[in-house]
Amino acid sequence: MTASGSRVRPRGDRKHHEASCPAACGDACLREAVTRHLEDFLGRRSPAVAGLDVDFADEVLDRLARFVVEGGKRVRPTFAWWGWRAAGGADDGPEAASALRAASALELVQAFALFQDDVMDKSEVRRGEPAVHVRFANDHRSKRWLGDPDHYGQSAALLAGDLALVWAEDMFTEALSHMPDARERARGPWRAMHTEMVVGQFLDMRSQARGDTAESTPLRVNRLKTAAYSAERPLHLGAALADANEKVVQALRRYGEAVGSAYQLRDDLLDLYGEPAQTGKAVGADLREGKRTLLLAVGLRRARERGDREAVRMLDSAIGDPGLPDADVRAVADLLAALGAKKAVEQRLAALLREGTRSLADAPITPMAYEELRRRADGAITRAT
């Protein structure tokens, strides 16, 4: 248990708009501003929750706050910010700060999604540390409580996630309390994103259960679970806050769908070809869990087309084997490269990024946002984490 003294505290009388982001200071500053908004929101909530139950504040809120404040690449708030800026939203001042604060609530939605996904996927590691459900289970074990520590850990992590989802709504709503028209406009993408996230997670899970081998399935899962949720809707949200016209919204959404899908393909490649020290995840974690990626679907199809039964058998038996040795993970990675599946996915990824950037080129968005978004598309190819 963490001592109450270390809990995230409100930042006194600091005003929201002090946490805005001047253009000159770039991405690092944007990330820092998001962190400050989250710290401030959670700190303001802390006393009321401690009033309901001090142990809940120490055990659950503190863990949620640390996860949200310390971690994450702020991908979703950053996309929302550039959606706002692309549509002509101001770089500084109270409205910019409110928009960024609303966008920061996406990090709470993300905490919800990660806590829950890690329980559903039985992932033990997150951001190079024990997953939240593992930490709660360890609390239970070390205190020799009654019942099954793992079940307790999972339930506690799910509740911490619920709190994050509930508070995301509060943070979003409160941040825009002085911009009611903008809030009404942004509510569409904000709400749609929530539904798409749930549907995407269900499709992902069911495709694993079904042993689905169609290439269309990972593409659809990627579109809902990653692209819509991580890029398309955040960009849409930011653009809606800035009262963008339909043409701008459509261009940003097409870009977001393409770049978000590409991002997931890169993630799939990193699962087999990445460096654990950089990704913060064990090599082959998705493979062992049984995740049906495009990479595997293409590999399986090509092996079948070649009549290579040994390759089909090897892939089939590796997918979803939780005890698969590292050497076999490497063998699968080599096999997929030999089958040309790795190259096919890399090509598709590059095509998606070109398509995404092209959709922006003739949209009436600010050139600075265009440059920034183009840079992000390029970065999605080379990222190692």
Q: How many CB atoms lie within 10 A of CB 203?
A: 20
User: If binding is defined by CB under 8 A, does position 366 make contact with its own copies?
Assistant: no
Contact pattern for its own copies over residues 316 through 335, marking x by CB under 8 A? ----x---------------
What residues pair up with 130 in beta bridges, in sequence order?
A: 125
Q: How many CB atoms lie within 10 A of CB 143?
A: 9
Provide the minimum distance between the beta carbon of 94 and its own copies in the complex, in angstroms, as a whole number. Answer: 20
Positions 257 through 316 that interact with its own copies (CB under 8 A): 290
The C-alpha atoms of residue 63 and residue 347 are separated, in whole angstroms, by 40
User: If binding is defined by CB under 8 A, does position 17 make contact with its own copies?
Assistant: no
Q: Return the DSSP state at 363.
A: S
If the CB atoms of residues 3 and 24 are measured against its own copies, the closer one turns out to be 3
If the CB atoms of residues 198 and 337 are measured against its own copies, the closer one turns out to be 198
Q: What is the DSSP string of 191-230?
A: HHHHHHHHHHHHHHHHHHHHT---THHHHHHIIIIIIIII
Residues in the interface with its own copies (CB under 8 A) total: 52
State both tokens at 49: 């929750």
What residues contact 77, with CB distance under 8 A and at least 6 apart? 30, 34, 100, 103, 104, 106, 107, 234
State both tokens at 283: 């090599």
Which of 9, 11, 31, 187 forms a contact with its own copies (CB under 8 A)?
187
The C-alpha atoms of residue 35 and residue 243 are separated, in whole angstroms, by 25
Which of 46, 104, 201, 359 forms a contact with its own copies (CB under 8 A)?
201
Residue type, 363: A
What residues pair up with 125 in beta bridges, in sequence order?
A: 130
If the CB atoms of residues 220 and 301 are measured against its own copies, the closer one turns out to be 220
SS (H, E, C) 263-306: HHHHHHHHHHHCCHHHHCCCCCHHHHHCCCCHHHHHHHHHHHHC
SS3 of 346, please?
A: helix
Contact pattern for its own copies over residues 57 through 76, marking x by CB under 8 A? --xx----------------
Binding piece for its own copies, criterion CB under 8 A, among 15-23, 156-164, 276-284, 340-348 = 156-164
Q: Residue 197: which of 265, 106, 67 has the closest Cα?
A: 106
At residue 45's C-alpha, the angle toward residues 39 and 51, to 5°, is: 140
Binding piece for its own copies, criterion CB under 8 A, among 29-37, 87-95, 204-212, 267-275 = 204-212
User: If binding is defined by CB under 8 A, does position 198 make contact with its own copies?
Assistant: yes
Which of 66, 127, 155, 385 forms a contact with its own copies (CB under 8 A)?
155
If the CB atoms of residues 205 and 350 are measured against its own copies, the closer one turns out to be 205
Provide the minimum distance between the beta carbon of 176 and its own copies in the complex, in angstroms, as a whole number. Answer: 12
User: If binding is defined by CB under 8 A, does position 124 make contact with its own copies?
Assistant: no
User: If binding is defined by CB under 8 A, does position 54 make contact with its own copies?
Assistant: no
User: If binding is defined by CB under 8 A, does position 169 make contact with its own copies?
Assistant: yes
Provide the minimum distance between the beta carbon of 209 and its own copies in the complex, in angstroms, as a whole number. Answer: 4
Which of 78, 116, 123, 359 forms a contact with its own copies (CB under 8 A)?
116
R_g over Cα of the chain: 21
User: If binding is defined by CB under 8 A, does position 2 make contact with its own copies?
Assistant: no
If the CB atoms of residues 211 and 379 are measured against its own copies, the closer one turns out to be 211
Residues that bind its own copies (CB under 8 A): 48-49, 52-53, 55-56, 59-60, 116, 119-120, 122, 140, 143, 145-147, 151-152, 155-156, 158-159, 162-163, 165-167, 169-170, 173, 180, 187, 191, 194-196, 198-199, 201-203, 205-206, 208-211, 220, 224, 290, 320
